[in-house]
Amino acid sequence: MVDFVRSPAVPFGRNFVSSDAFRAMFREGMLLVEDTAAYLDGPGRDESRALPRDVALAYATESMRLTTRLMQIASWLLVQRAVAEGEITPDQARTEKNRVKIADMNTPTPSTAMDMLPLRLRELMDASQRMQARVMHLENMVIAENETSTSPAPVSNAVVSQLDRLKAAFAPSAA
C-alpha cells in the first residue's frame, strides 16, 4: 500500500510576489495604468466629445470604472511589491490600513452603448478586467494560505483518512 508523505503546502501566493513572474505582472499593470491615463487625457478626450449624448454618458461611466479598477490594481501591486522588497511584512500588508479592496464593478452598460464606445477604450477595459481577475485570484490564494497557516488545528486529508480506514478494515486481526 502507498504511504503518503504528509507535508505542508507550498505557499505559492507569498512566494509569487518575490518571483520574476510577479515583477512582469507589476510592470504590465503599471504600463496599463500609464497607457490608460495617456489615452483618457489625449485621444480619448477627443473621441468622447464626438459621441452621441447617451454614449458619452456610457463613456464617462466606463472611464470612471476603468480608472477606479486600475487604481485598486496599482495599489495592490504596490503593496505586494513592498512585501517582496522587505519594506513591509506580509502581516503588515494584511492589516486593514494596507489592505486593498479589489471591488467587482461589473454593472453592465447597455450593449448598444457599449458597442458604440471607442475601440481603444473597450480594449483598455478588457485588459483591466483581465488584470483584475489575475489580482483577485492571487489575493484569494494569499488569503487562503493565511487562513490555513493560522488555523488552530491541521486540516485532515480526506484521502489519507480513507486509506487509514481501509488499512484498519483489512488488517489481519490480532485475535
In the chain, the number of structural domains is 1
pLDDT above 60 (res 151): no
pLDDT reported for residue 24: 96
Provide the pLDDT confidence category of residue 13 given band limits of 50, 70 and 90: low
Provide the pLDDT confidence category of residue 150 given band limits of 50, 70 and 90: low
CATH number for 89: 1.10.8.930
Quote the domain boundaries for residue 36. 12-150
pLDDT above 60 (res 84): yes
Q: Enumerate residues 6+ apart whose C-beta is below 8 A from 6.
A: 157, 160
Residue 164, domain member (yes or no): no
Residue 100, domain member (yes or no): yes
Query: Average pLDDT, stretch 71-96?
Result: 89
Say if CB 99 and CB 142 are below 8 A apart. no
One DSSP character per residue, 122-150 reads HHHHHHHHHHHHHHHHHHHHHHHHHHHHT
Residue 18, domain member (yes or no): yes
Of 17, 4, 55, nearest to 166 (Cα)? 4
Residue 52, domain member (yes or no): yes
Residue 166, domain member (yes or no): no
pLDDT above 60 (res 125): yes
Residue 168, domain member (yes or no): no
Provide the pLDDT confidence category of residue 43 given band limits of 50, 70 and 90: very high
Of 87, 105, 98, nearest to 142 (Cα)? 98
Residue 5, domain member (yes or no): no
Residue 121, domain member (yes or no): yes
pTM of the model: 0.73
pLDDT reported for residue 9: 53
